[in-house]
Amino acid sequence: MAKEYDVVIIGAGPAGLTAALYASRANLKVLLLDRGIYGGQMNNTAAIENYPGFDSILGPDLSEKMYQSAIQFGAQYQYGTVEQIEDHQTYKIIKTSDEEFKALAVVLATGSEYKKIGVPGEDEYSGKGVSYCAVCDGAFFKNEDVVVIGGGDSAIEEGVYLTQLAKSVTIIHRRDKLRAQQILQKRAFANDKIKFIWNAAVEEIQGDQNKVTGVKYRDKKTDEQRVIKTSGVFIYVGIQPNTEKLRNLGVTNATGWIETNDLMQTKVPGIFAVGDVRQKNLRQITTAVGEGGLAGQGVFDYIQTLKD
């Protein structure tokens, strides 16, 4: 038989943990499900310097503090990879690889993943100079030379952002022209701190044991290999939502992101979405926490309507 809860929250990153805190504090029976350790991408962040209340805190430490807050009012947490969610209107069935749960409401907090370029050194130096978020990590590279890989909107926006901090920004792109919007291109070309390397295929991110030292790339026109020295590599070749197992619910848009209203409600009653899985512009811990609070309260309000 399926175990019954008021709400099942899928994903235990900052958004899911905050939703669990608010929902359990409202005396709801809450289950947090995650396929990995609680905290999500915070666990891969060496230091977090843009979360209110802390000058700097290790990602795993903030994860632990949020987790302890989330479970203090009785929310339960367990590992589980969700395979399917069934909408039965007044209740939902959540199926993992080996269990089933029944809930009046579901909060989707499955997050997103940055696409990787898949070259040697990318994983090895992740958090040691390789980053996928300039807003998160740019401050670690003040007055240093950094590289941005990509040519779309995100790469150019973040490249311009980095010029406020870095000594120089070199954008490496595999084509001979950018894909970004014209207004973004205009800003980048007008910025004296930004340089471009065109028609370049990145082949390796180099470094010593502790940090990035350079990027090796191949000139696609001459086939010549070159190395640019840098201490920071920001990769922007795309981001994708973790919604593959959620498509049957009809809550995702054409590109896979979940759209909600301002109360974090999807178009399916009883299903909410929070955090990086949502269609939005800024994906940060602060925004995730705010959305989690709204969803936790929203779940309580929704369940009350079922009792009317």
- Give residue 298's identity as a one-letter amino acid code: G
Q: Is 136 a catalytic residue?
A: yes
**How distant, in Å, are the alpha carbons of 160, 162, 190, 191, 292 from that of 186?**
11, 16, 6, 9, 37
Amino acid at 290: G
Name the active-site residue from 61, 136, 176, 219. 136
- The reply to whether 133 belongs to the active site is yes
Q: Which residue among 6, 34, 133, 276 is the active-site one?
A: 133
Are the C-beta atoms of 197 and 221 separated by less than 8 Å?
no
C-beta neighbour count of 184 within 10 angstroms: 19
Q: How many residues does the chain have?
A: 308
Catalytic member of 6, 137, 219, 276: 137
For residue 102 the two structure tokens come to 């029944």
- 55 is annotated as an active-site residue: no
CA gap 47, 64 in Å, rounded: 14
Q: How far apart are the first and last CA of the chain?
A: 27
Active centre residues (catalytic): 133, 136-137
